[in-house]
Amino acid sequence: MSDTTKFTDTIKAGYTFKGECFKIGGAMLDGAVIPGADVLIPLKTMNRHGLIAGATGTGKTKTLQMLAEGLSNASVPVLMMDIKGDLSGIAAAGTVNGNITDRCQKIGVEFKPQACPVELLTLSNQKGSRLRATVSEFGPVLLSKILGLNDTQGGFVAMIFKYCDDKKLPLLDLKDFIKVLQFVSDEGKKEMEKEYGKISTSSTGTILRKVIELQQQGADVFFGEKSFEVDDLMRISEDGRGVVSIVRVTDLQDRPKLFSTFMLQLLAELYATSPEEGDMDKPKLILFIDEAHLIFQEASDALLQQIETIIKLIRSKGVGIYFCTQNPMDIPAPVLAQLGLKVQHALRAFTAADRKVIKQTSENYPETEFYKTEDLITQLGTGEALVTILNEKGIPTPLVHCMIRPPQSRMDILTETEIDALVAQSKIAPKYNQVIDSQSAYEILTGKLQEAEERDAKEKQQDEEQKAEEKEEKKTPAKKEKGFFDNPTVKSMTRTAGNTIVRTLLGVLGLGGRSRRKSLF
C-alpha cells in the first residue's frame, strides 16, 4: 500500500461522520491536494469550542468567514467579534477570480457567490444595533472581578447591591453606581452602617477610582438600557439560514478592559439564560472572537477563572466559542485545553523565542506519521492549515494538512452606503437604538440630596435670622413701660379734678375765698 493510499484511507476513516456536517477543504500530502480526502466538520461537535490561529496574512480571518458561512447555511446562528473591521463583507456576495477557481477545482467544491443574512451590532456610537447591559445584570460578583477588587472590597460591593435592592434604587448605568458610592460615603453613611455594618472610607475610594478607570475606557456607553436580549442573537432568517450577528468593535483595540468586560458579561448572560440542552444534533449558537488576546490581556486571575468556568459549562447549553488569534500561546492553558477544533495556520520563526513557541504549539496537536508538525507549521501557504477536530465520540481526528475552501461571500469590507442600507433594514435596530433614561439610583439619590440641601439651607437661614434678632436686642436697652397716670392728658385732668375738690372742701368749711376771710375780722 502506497503512502498516498494509506493517507487517503486514514483521512476518510477519521473524517467520516454519521450526522450532518460540512466540508471545509481538502487534505494535502507533500504539498498537493489528495482527491477524495475531504476534511469535514460534524455540526454535532461544534459546541466543543475551537481555536483558529496563525500569523498575520496567513488566511485565518477568511477561515473564520468560511466557517460562519457553513454554519449559517446549516441554520446555526453565528455571533462574530469584528476587531479589524474586515468581517462585514460576509453580508455581500463574493466575486470569482482565477485563484478562487483554481483552489475550488483542487478541493473539489463549487464556488457559488452568496451573501449571508447579517445583523450589525455595536458597543459604541458606530452604525448598528446598540448592545447594552445594566449594572444590576452584571451583579456584585462579576462587577468585582471586572474591577479587580479584593475580597473586602468585593464584599462592600455586594453590600451596596443589597442596599440598593432593599431601598428600591435601580442600578442601571455607571453613574448610578458612582452616585450610590458617594451617597453611602457621606449623607447615607450612618443609615447604611446601622443596617449593614461598618463602611471603610478607603474601600469606597478605591472602588470609585477603579470605576472611573472603567469609565475612561468608554464603559458609560455600554452600561445602561435597553438591555440586549440573548434571543435576538439566535435568530433564523426567512430563508431558513442562521443570522450572522457582527459586533463592530474596531474602536476597542486600545480599550481591552472594556472589551473583556463586554465578553465576560455576554458569556455569563448566555450561560444564565440558555436552558440545559445536553448533546444536540447541531449547536444553538456559535461565537467567534477575533483578536482573542484582548480578552486575556489585562485579565486578573479571578477573571480568568471565571472565563474558564463558563467555557467549561456553556457547551452543555448548545453554545460553542471559537478564539481567533495570532499565537496559540495567547490563550491561557486551562482555556486552550477546552478547545476541541483546532485550525493552525502558518507561524513565523524569526527569533529563538519564535522557534520555541512553534515547538510548544506543535506538541499541542496529535502525533502523525505523515507530517513533521514542527517544520510544517512554518511552511504552510496562505489559506492552508493544520486541522484536527473532535469526532462524534469526542475523540480527536488525525492531524491533517488542509487546503481551506474560500468564502463565498465578499473577502473585503462593506462600503458606508452598504452599511447604512444594512442598518436601515434591521428588524432590531429600532428596538435597541432608542435612548432610555429611566428613573434610577442617580435620580432618586440626587433628589434626596437636593431635599437635604434645601432643608439645611432653610435651617441655616432660620438660625441666622434668630441670631440677628438676639444680637439686636442686646444692643437696645429695654424702655420702662409707661403707666396710665404717666400720660400727659391724664395728668392734666387729674390736676384739674384735684383743684376742684380742694375748692369745694374749702367752701364747705367757710374758707372759700379771700373776701370771705376779710369780712370775718
Integer Cα distance of 226 and 42 in angstroms = 37
State what percent of residues in the chain have pLDDT above 90.
37
**Helix residue ranges, H only, 217-329:** 219-222, 256-273, 293-296, 301-314
Residues 43, 19: contact at Cβ < 8 Å?
yes
Q: Pairing state of beta strands 78-82 and 129-130?
A: unpaired
Q: In what order do the strands lie in the sheet with 244-248?
A: 32-42, 21-29, 400-404, 384-388, 341-344, 50-53, 319-325, 285-290, 78-82, 244-248, 118-122, 129-130
Residues 6+ apart with CB under 8 A from 395: none
Residues 337, 365: contact at Cβ < 8 Å?
no
- Over residues 454-477, mean pLDDT: 71
**To the nearest whole number, what is the mean pLDDT of the chain?**
83
User: Which amino acid type is present at position 205?
Assistant: G
Residue 113: band (very low, low, confident or very high) from pLDDT cuts 50, 70, 90: very high
Give the model confidence (pLDDT) of 21-74 as tens digits. 999 999 999 999 999 899 999 999 999 999 999 998 899 999 999 999 999 999
Q: What is the DSSP letter of 413?
A: P
Long-range contact set of residues 473-481: C-beta below 8 Å, sequence gap at least 24: none
Domain layout of the chain by residue ranges: 3-131+226-414, 135-221
Least confident range of 101-105, 152-156, 253-257: 253-257
Residues 6+ apart with CB under 8 A from 431: 129, 226
Q: Calculate the CA dihedral of residues 450, 451, 454, 460 and round it to 10 degrees.
A: -120
The rounded Cα 264 to chain-centroid distance in angstroms is 8
Residues 6+ apart with CB under 8 A from 491: 485
- Over residues 345-357, mean pLDDT: 88
| C-alpha grid cell, residue 17 | 461522520
Q: Which letter, b or e, does each residue of 431-461 get, where b requires 16 or more Cβ atoms within 10 Å of its Cβ?
A: ebeeeeeeebbbbbbeeebeeeeeeeeeeee
Residues 407, 69: contact at Cβ < 8 Å?
yes
The answer to whether residue 457 scores a pLDDT higher than 60 is yes
At 268 the pLDDT is 84
At 1 the pLDDT is 54
The answer to whether residue 519 scores a pLDDT higher than 50 is no
pTM of the model: 0.79
Give the three-class secondary structure for 391. Answer: coil
At 453 the pLDDT is 61
Which is nearest to 20 in space by CA: 83, 90, 74, 64? 74
State what percent of residues in the chain have pLDDT above 70.
85
At 490 the pLDDT is 52
At 278 the pLDDT is 77
The answer to whether residue 521 scores a pLDDT higher than 60 is no
Residue 498: band (very low, low, confident or very high) from pLDDT cuts 50, 70, 90: low
Integer Cα distance of 467 and 209 in angstroms = 43
Integer Cα distance of 146 and 511 in angstroms = 120
The answer to whether residue 282 scores a pLDDT higher than 50 is yes
- Over residues 347-370, mean pLDDT: 88
Which residue bears the cell 452568496? 114
| C-alpha grid cell, residue 169 | 434604587
Q: Please state the CATH superfamily assignment of the domain spanning residues 3-131+226-414 in this structure.
A: P-loop containing nucleotide triphosphate hydrolases (3.40.50.300)
At 409 the pLDDT is 94
| Per-residue three-class SS string for 94-129 | CCCCHHHHHHHHHHCCCCCCCCCCEEEEECCCCCCE
Give the model confidence (pLDDT) of 314-332 as tens digits. 989 999 999 999 888 888 8
| C-alpha grid cell, residue 114 | 452568496
Diameter over CA atoms, the chain: 189
The C-alpha angle 391, 399, 329, rounded to 5 degrees, equals: 100
| Per-residue three-class SS string for 192-235 | HHHHHCCCCHHHHHHHHHHHHHHHHCCHHHHECCCCCCHHHHCC
Residues 132, 247: contact at Cβ < 8 Å?
no
Integer Cα distance of 54 and 492 in angstroms = 122
